[in-house]
Structure 1
Amino acid sequence: MFDFLFGPSKQERFAQLLIDRIRLAGETKEILFHKEEFQLRFYEDGDEAGVANLNNLYAEYCSIAKADRDEFLSQATRALLSYRKEVPEDFEDARHDVRPVVRSRAYFEMLRLEQYFRGGPPLELPYVDIGRHLLAAPVFDLPESIRAIDQELLDTWGVSLYELMEIAKQNLEDSEFVVGVVGEKLYALASGDSYDAARMLLIDHILEFKLEGDPVAVAPNRDSLIVVGSDDNEGLAMMLDLIEQSSADPRPISAIPVRLFDGEWETWLPNRAHPLYPRFREFEVQSLLGEYEEQKAMLEGVFEEEGIDLFVATYTAIKRNESNEILTYSVWTRDVASLLPKTDYVLFGDPGRLGTVASASWDKMESIVGDLLEDLGTYPPRFRVTEFPSDEQLEKLGHDQRISA
């Protein structure tokens, strides 16, 4: 009874299953499970020698039939141990196995941020921005997994990021893929090779789609790319339905669309008067909320281990009853060194006084007390604050009724 009530969680049992498999496969490094970050960490001679984030693996494990889970654990083990396979030092031997991937910017930036607060050397993972929320990066394609390509490997090969991305895109274009068309309004790529999201980089193919308006694309996960026309409300509604259906899929990327304009992808939402704006806005906030929650959990785990006294403020979303408008806010508290997320509004709190002492939109706050913000230059954005606005500044900030009411 007590073992059942107080035994290890499902996540802990999953981590232990994976550790056992990795050890059986011959891994000699010490492996420790870090519950707060949901990571496996590998150590060699007392030094950290690798990290495996388990969120996506666990989500995928839970989503498949129990009869398939044993094989999934075997595949995951082979993927985690693929680092043993050497990437060719001669670029000519490697070039045919280079592919591009598209991911949320949080994919790399959380690794950089963790390294920064742990005091480690800067993590140099080259990538190209796609709008504000996505990135494209070159990877080395292995049978069981993909290997990130860092700046050191680029230097060894003697190629630039631009050159490598062009080669990676050509390799992707040369591979077979499937495009489905729904009602001559929506194009869906779902080849199941983990590179469908990256096919948004094949601009010439995207431009061949018969669309009303500019191409608008969304990559809910690695194995899905949805493209419709910016002026096609029916197609946009179909896109929203597919985003909703894929919201629980493992290995998510982003529910925030991009628009192809002058040959470049840019972050896109319809204007506020558009009938579908509220649904797109809701998915935008859901995506950012998930990324901020994952970032917050990582930072809190690092700060606890490293003894860093910084409060990680929460990204909070609310829906106004009278208008159904979704607003986001964070709280800046007196005498609390904090990392603020970038939100629509900021509330100012003083433990010695009831309620909020001020509230303002982010833009107004930045115009009045922007000198108190230290931009960490990460994604999703975080700003370090160690001082609180003066009484004069609080008076200028005032109380914004859109968030205070």
Structure 2
Amino acid sequence: MGFFDFFSSKPSTKKFGQIVINYARANGFQQPINFDEAEFRLVVGDNASHVLNLHNAYRDYCAVPKHQRDTVLLKYTAGLKIEGIPDDFASAKAHLMPSLKPRGQGEYLRLTSKIQDKEMSYDAAALPFSDDAVLMLAYDTEHSMALVNKSNYESWGVTMEQALAAALDNLRDRTADHFVDLGHGLVAGVWDDAYDSSRILLHDLAYRANCGSDPVMMIPSRGRFLLTASNAIAGQLKMIEVARLSSETDGRTVSACMYKIKGDQLVVYTPEDASVREQLNNLRTSFFAEDYGSQKELLDALHDKNGDDTFVASFTVFKNNDTDKLTSLCTWTRGVISLLPKTDLVAMVTPGATDDKYESKILSWADAVSMAAPLMQEVEGYPVRYLVREFPEAGQLQAAAETPL
């Protein structure tokens, strides 16, 4: 079993920041622009009135051939021409669109706001969608797109559910049936307008995709809506493969879940076939690795700022070279106050007299919780972490069954 590396090296982010600034200037943008290297973003305007995060732009820019890079720059710098969201709902509703977002994006905002002492949150402007995604609304015009926030709903005098109804009508008006066959019973909806994944909300559309009466769906990234039949094992395996590739190349991940329609609701679906379940678990593990990695970086920065010496444990992933199965592991060390991610396995470490002298025992997550649940305090955040201040008694640990790595 070997370590599985999700985080490959990248070209200079500092140079990319300057490329974006130069492109914006060449196309007539005159407002002040400052590159925030630490947060990898552009801060725009005399009063820093707008922030353009560069992570997705950078990934898109690096992923396309050189002759397409100006198109990527045009797409992202167009967002610098900011148009305010109207204060009245009548003026705004024609431009509202539903937008599915990964929960990890909300965690990024939450922790960044704490680091910067500036309140930012999705919570008051997002509806729960699934384990790893939320539903928000976007105000989308020809030149800019902005997420609708709590203050917008307050000024409009409407609930998010009422505004969502208008957004769904707008999405339906923009949605002709446009499906392509990817083989093995897998179908993709293709519209290329930043709302492909949102169309999972249009249940009647799924039934017109020629996947039978019980379609299974995935929305791994903003630009992917994948469908196959509930009894099509080959189609589900192909769907997971395409989902993995799109999450790596598209950049804007949304969800690693499978979905089905139950009554008038979308529900998370657990595949019946064991081989499909294993491949789906691999995909979910890779998504968690990205989310936990980003979360750890931000928590470490927040702890440095606050003088907090709590150890933020890593979400480490191993790959079985024979089966390709991915397994996650974290380390719980005696005497170290830690924030543990939820992993498949937990390495219970008892330090010795020197750094190279220690004892360790690998437990399954279920066995670790069974043994030490009173010592594990769930804390705010996504993905979930548990604060541990104490370590299980030696007798408890000795009695626990070890899980082979």
- Could you tell me how far apart the structure 1 residues matched to 2:337 and 2:244 are? 37
Shift of 1:178: 4.5
Shift of 1:111: 0.9
When normalised by structure 1's length, the TM-score is 0.84
Shift of 1:306: 4.8
Alignment correspondent of 2:18: 16
* Count of aligned pairs between the two proteins: 388
Write out aligned runs for 1:35-184 (5 A). Answer: 35=38, 37-41=39-43, 51-79=51-79, 81-82=80-81, 84-116=82-114, 118-121=116-119, 123-125=121-123, 126-182=125-181
Shift of 1:20: 4.3
The one of 10, 29, 32 aligned to 1:28: 32
Shift of 1:92: 0.4
8 Å contact kept, 2:352–2:359? no
SS at match of 1:369: helix
SS at match of 2:238: helix
Shift of 1:393: 4.2
8 Å contact kept, 1:101–1:138? yes
Bigger CA drift: 145-154 or 354-363?
354-363
Shift of 1:202: 0.7
Shift of 1:206: 1.6
Q: How large is the RMSD of aligned CA atoms in angstroms?
A: 2.9
8 Å contact kept, 1:331–1:349? yes
8 Å contact kept, 1:240–1:280? yes
- Could you tell me how far apart the structure 2 residues matched to 1:306 and 1:43 are? 29
What CA deviation, in whole Å up to 9, does each residue of 1:112-170 have, x standing for no partner?
A: 23324555436244222222112211111122332111111111111112112222111
8 Å contact kept, 1:214–1:261? no
- Could you tell me how far apart the structure 2 residues matched to 1:41 and 1:372 are? 43
SS at match of 2:77: helix
Alignment correspondent of 2:238: 238
8 Å contact kept, 1:347–1:356? no
8 Å contact kept, 1:213–1:232? no
8 Å contact kept, 2:311–2:338? yes
Pair 1:378 & 2:381 matched:
yes
- Could you tell me how far apart the structure 2 residues matched to 1:18 and 1:323 are? 43
Shift of 1:200: 0.2
What CA deviation, in whole Å up to 9, does each residue of 1:353-374 have, x standing for no partner?
A: 7455443332332333233333
Alignment correspondent of 1:4: none
Alignment correspondent of 2:250: 249
Where structure 2 has 5 or more consecutive residues not aligned to the other structure, the ranges are: 1-9
SS at match of 1:379: coil
AA aligned opposite 1:13 = K
Write out aligned runs for 1:256-267 (5 A). Answer: 256-267=257-268
SS at match of 2:253: coil
What CA deviation, in whole Å up to 9, does each residue of 1:193-232 have, x standing for no partner?
A: 0000000011122234443563211113212100111211
- Could you tell me how far apart the structure 2 residues matched to 1:335 and 1:22 are? 52
Summarize the Cα distance change of 1:393–1:146 in structure 2 as closer, same or farther, 3 Å threshold. Answer: farther
Percent identity, aligned pairs only, is 27
Summarize the Cα distance change of 1:10–1:323 in structure 2 as closer, same or farther, 3 Å threshold. Answer: closer
8 Å contact kept, 2:310–2:339? yes
- Could you tell me how far apart the structure 2 residues matched to 1:342 and 1:292 are? 10
Summarize the Cα distance change of 1:372–1:53 in structure 2 as closer, same or farther, 3 Å threshold. Answer: farther
Alignment correspondent of 2:370: 367
- Could you tell me how far apart the structure 2 residues matched to 1:245 and 1:57 are? 18
AA aligned opposite 1:377 = E
Summarize the Cα distance change of 1:249–1:71 in structure 2 as closer, same or farther, 3 Å threshold. Answer: closer
Alignment correspondent of 1:327: 327
AA aligned opposite 1:16 = Q
SS at match of 1:221: coil
SS at match of 2:404: helix
8 Å contact kept, 2:107–2:295? no
- Could you tell me how far apart the structure 1 residues matched to 2:386 and 2:51 are? 26
SS at match of 2:274: coil
- Could you tell me how far apart the structure 2 residues matched to 1:268 and 1:316 are? 26
SS at match of 2:155: helix
Alignment correspondent of 1:5: none
Bigger CA drift: 149-158 or 62-71?
62-71
SS at match of 1:402: coil
8 Å contact kept, 1:154–1:161? yes
Shift of 1:190: 1.5
AA aligned opposite 2:271 = P
When normalised by structure 2's length, the TM-score is 0.84
AA aligned opposite 1:402 = P
